[in-house]
Copies of this chain bind each other. A is one copy, B any other.
Protein backbone atom coordinates (compact mmCIF):
# COMPACT_ATOMS: atom_id res chain seq x y z
CA UNK A 1 0.00 0.00 0.00
CA UNK A 2 1.48 3.34 -1.06
CA UNK A 3 1.27 6.78 0.55
CA UNK A 4 -1.73 7.84 -1.50
CA UNK A 5 -3.76 4.86 -0.39
CA UNK A 6 -2.88 5.36 3.31
CA UNK A 7 -3.87 9.04 3.23
CA UNK A 8 -7.07 8.19 1.36
CA UNK A 9 -8.03 5.62 4.01
CA UNK A 10 -7.56 8.11 6.85
CA UNK A 11 -9.54 10.86 5.14
CA UNK A 12 -12.32 8.46 4.14
CA UNK A 13 -12.82 7.34 7.73
CA UNK A 14 -12.83 10.84 9.26
CA UNK A 15 -15.93 12.66 8.08
CA UNK A 16 -14.61 15.97 9.43
CA UNK A 17 -11.27 15.81 7.59
CA UNK A 18 -10.07 19.02 5.89
CA UNK A 19 -6.69 17.90 4.59
CA UNK A 20 -3.87 15.48 5.22
CA UNK A 21 -0.26 15.51 4.08
CA UNK A 22 3.10 13.86 4.53
CA UNK A 23 5.55 16.70 5.05
CA UNK A 24 9.34 16.67 5.18
CA UNK A 25 10.98 18.35 8.17
CA UNK A 26 12.24 20.83 5.56
CA UNK A 27 8.60 21.89 5.06
CA UNK A 28 8.12 20.31 1.64
CA UNK A 29 4.83 18.45 1.14
CA UNK A 30 5.58 14.96 -0.22
CA UNK A 31 2.03 13.69 -0.61
CA UNK A 32 -1.33 15.29 0.11
CA UNK A 33 -5.04 14.84 0.04
CA UNK A 34 -7.18 17.94 0.15
CA UNK A 35 -10.85 17.91 1.14
CA UNK A 36 -11.21 21.66 1.69
CA UNK A 37 -9.74 23.14 -1.47
CA UNK A 38 -9.34 26.56 0.15
CA UNK A 39 -6.39 25.32 2.19
CA UNK A 40 -2.97 26.23 0.83
CA UNK A 41 -1.21 23.05 1.87
CA UNK A 42 2.24 24.19 0.72
CA UNK A 43 2.10 27.12 3.16
CA UNK A 44 0.52 25.05 5.93
CA UNK A 45 3.22 22.38 5.60
CA UNK A 46 6.05 24.92 5.60
CA UNK A 47 4.73 26.89 8.58
CA UNK A 48 3.95 23.88 10.73
CA UNK A 49 7.26 22.16 10.00
CA UNK A 50 8.96 25.26 11.36
CA UNK A 51 6.68 25.20 14.44
CA UNK A 52 7.44 21.53 15.00
CA UNK A 53 11.18 22.27 14.83
CA UNK A 54 10.85 25.05 17.42
CA UNK A 55 8.78 22.87 19.74
CA UNK A 56 11.39 20.09 19.47
CA UNK A 57 14.17 22.51 20.40
CA UNK A 58 12.20 23.73 23.42
CA UNK A 59 11.37 20.19 24.51
CA UNK A 60 15.04 19.32 24.23
CA UNK A 61 16.19 22.30 26.27
CA UNK A 62 13.58 21.52 28.95
CA UNK A 63 14.66 17.85 28.97
CA UNK A 64 11.15 16.69 28.06
CA UNK A 65 12.62 14.39 25.39
CA UNK A 66 11.41 13.87 21.84
CA UNK A 67 8.19 15.48 20.61
CA UNK A 68 5.90 12.71 19.41
CA UNK A 69 2.82 14.70 18.52
CA UNK A 70 1.39 18.22 18.57
CA UNK A 71 -2.28 19.20 18.34
CA UNK A 72 -3.27 22.80 17.65
CA UNK A 73 -6.90 23.86 18.18
CA UNK A 74 -7.85 26.99 16.24
CA UNK A 75 -11.14 28.67 15.29
CA UNK A 76 -11.13 27.07 11.84
CA UNK A 77 -9.38 23.73 12.29
CA UNK A 78 -7.79 21.21 14.61
CA UNK A 79 -4.32 20.49 13.25
CA UNK A 80 -2.53 17.29 14.29
CA UNK A 81 1.19 16.88 13.65
CA UNK A 82 2.77 13.48 14.25
CA UNK A 83 6.35 12.51 13.54
CA UNK A 84 6.80 9.49 11.26
CA UNK A 85 10.60 9.41 11.51
CA UNK A 86 13.40 11.97 11.77
CA UNK A 87 12.70 13.26 8.25
CA UNK A 88 8.93 13.22 7.82
CA UNK A 89 5.78 14.00 9.75
CA UNK A 90 2.10 13.70 9.02
CA UNK A 91 -0.17 16.75 9.15
CA UNK A 92 -3.87 16.07 9.54
CA UNK A 93 -6.43 18.88 9.82
CA UNK A 94 -10.06 18.35 10.75
CA UNK A 95 -12.99 20.70 11.39
CA UNK A 96 -12.83 22.58 14.73
CA UNK A 97 -15.73 20.50 16.12
CA UNK A 98 -14.32 17.25 14.71
CA UNK A 99 -13.55 14.17 16.77
CA UNK A 100 -9.96 14.55 17.86
CA UNK A 101 -9.88 11.10 19.49
CA UNK A 102 -10.87 9.46 16.21
CA UNK A 103 -8.32 11.51 14.28
CA UNK A 104 -5.47 10.59 16.62
CA UNK A 105 -6.54 6.93 16.54
CA UNK A 106 -6.45 6.83 12.73
CA UNK A 107 -2.96 8.34 12.64
CA UNK A 108 -1.74 5.86 15.24
CA UNK A 109 -3.29 2.96 13.37
CA UNK A 110 -1.69 3.85 10.04
CA UNK A 111 1.71 4.84 11.50
CA UNK A 112 3.45 1.44 11.12
CA UNK A 113 2.54 1.39 7.41
CA UNK A 114 3.76 4.96 6.93
CA UNK A 115 7.02 4.18 8.72
CA UNK A 116 7.53 1.19 6.44
CA UNK A 117 6.78 3.24 3.31
CA UNK A 118 9.21 5.98 4.33
CA UNK A 119 12.13 3.80 5.33
A residues near B (Cβ < 8 Å) are 40, 43-44, 47-48, 50-51, 54-55, 58-59, 61-77, 79, 101
A77 to chain B: closest CB distance in Å? Answer: 5
With the chains together, A43 CA to B76 CA distance in Å?
Answer: 31
State whether B62 touches A73 (Cβ < 8 A): no
Nearest 10 interchain pairs by C-beta: A65-B75, A69-B73, A64-B74, A47-B58, A71-B71, A64-B76, A68-B73, A65-B76, A59-B74, A66-B75
Give the complex CA separation of A67 and B76 in angstroms.
Answer: 9
- Chain B CB within 10 Å — which of A40, A66, A74, A75 has the most? A74
Whether A70 and B70, one on each chain, are in contact in the complex, defined by CB atoms closer than 8 angstroms, is yes
